Amino acid sequence: MTATLNLSKADTDALGAELDAILAEVREDLGASDREYIEGVIQLQRRLEVGGRAALLMSIFPPAWLAGVTMLSSAKILASMEIGHNVMHGQWDWMRDPEIHSTTWEWDSAPTAEGWKHTHNYLHHTYTNVVGKDRDLGYTIMRVSGEQDWKPVYLAQPLYNVALAATFEWAIALYDLEFDKLVAGELSLGEYIRRSQGMMRKVATQSLKDYVVWPLLSGISAPTTFAANLTANVVRNVWAHTIIFCGHFPDGGATFSEESIEGETRGEWYLRQMEGSCNISGGPLLHLMSGNLSYQVEHHIFPDMPSNRYAEVAPRVQEICERYGIPYSTGPLHKQYAQVVKKIVRFAFPGGKRADAPESIPAPTPGNTRKGGATRSKGIDERASRVAA
């Protein structure tokens, strides 16, 4: 889907002001209940991990193995989604707790915090769904939009997407190195080597912990513990892949050209996030285990808002979308994922560009919200600094 919605400058400014007001209101209201929430989730995650590790000491017995895998998978999902991802976004920096701060947190996953914050917090959240700028639009190996040039290798993407899901954390660790930029001459060899060394240290630590230390501590249960740890990591990878793809690639997710964001204002940046993101409807357990990324629209417009507040602001955001005529994409997990799979299969083949938008969104015109401009006052560069902080 290519973005085609045009609002007047006055409307986008008003939109930005309304969303700024919601963000300011929530920030002013943050307090003890929010602190209790994140501390409670961290305690739950640690208890699940301890319980899972304890059960796996007896993993030669199938019931203990299953219990251990279930608890450990849940712990790893919480650690990556609701805790790690959101802590590194700075959602809890207001607490000034050095143990739950974006500058000090290192998560239980193969990508380094430094690499993740660069490619995700900065590049993706600044240039969301901008073809040629947002490397998360297909992660450099998938074609998920007709605006992306087709290559023969994409014919295999329905197959290698399965491998990507199972190995998602390792794939992201490699992706964060930005090898494509090294080849293009946009990244120095010295910087690439520095990143590679950091990534290899992190991968070695993760591998040693899950596949050597914990199995050895299980004694006679070492082989089954090894298998359980591998299973838990695969479960976490597939779940993270599913949630993230459903937040960006269903039919409702719009794409944009680089030209369309020139001179982008605050309100226009908000508009792009709303058009380019998709929600997943469901109950409290789904929202918790997805890291509240089921509220992807709200997360993209408020990336540093504590995730427990997304459910609270979602009805207000949806009402604003309805009032301004902005699509608010949402649906149950199975529906959103079916659209993702359909898109991956469709764009494995040539073609797919809209007949009425051969390059991307319409060319800038007077009154078009995505028009060029020489000044970026309070625009994309300022927003980039905030999301990368």
Alpha-carbon span 332 to 64, nearest angstrom: 32
Coil, strand or helix at 323: helix
Question: For 24-49, what is each residue's pLDDT tens digit?
Answer: 999 999 999 999 999 999 999 999 99
pLDDT at 282 over 90: yes
Alpha-carbon span 320 to 311, nearest angstrom: 15
Specify which residues 256 forms β-bridges with: 130
Question: For 55-79, what is each residue's pLDDT tens digit?
Answer: 999 999 999 999 999 999 999 999 9
| CB-based contact 130:258 (threshold 8 Å) | yes
Which pair of tokens denotes residue 35? 């602190």
Q: Over range 196-222, report the average pLDDT.
A: 95
Alpha-carbon span 363 to 173, nearest angstrom: 37
Angle at 357 between CA 246 and CA 3, to 5 degrees: 40
Alpha-carbon span 218 to 223, nearest angstrom: 9
85 — pLDDT class (breaks 50, 70, 90): very high
The end-to-end CA distance of the chain, in Å, is 30
CA 107 to chain centre: 15
Instruction: Indicate the residue type of 290.
Output: S
Which pair of tokens denotes residue 364? 């800038």
- Cβ neighbour number for residue 185 with a 10 Å cutoff: 7
Confidence (pLDDT) at 358: 35
Confidence (pLDDT) at 271: 95
Q: Quote the DSSP letter at residue 363.
A: P
Closest-CA residue to 142 (of 118, 123, 160)? 160
Contacts (Cβ under 8 Å, ≥6 apart) of 74: 48, 52, 289
Specify which residues 329 forms β-bridges with: 278
Confidence (pLDDT) at 3: 56
98 — pLDDT class (breaks 50, 70, 90): very high
Alpha-carbon span 133 to 127, nearest angstrom: 6
- Of the listed ranges 16-20, 37-41, 99-103, 367-371, the one predicted with least confidence: 367-371
Look over the chain and give the mean of its residue pLDDT values, rounded to a whole number. 89
Contacts (Cβ under 8 Å, ≥6 apart) of 377: 265
Q: Quote the DSSP letter at residue 127.
A: S
Confidence (pLDDT) at 381: 42
pLDDT at 245 over 80: yes
Confidence (pLDDT) at 352: 80
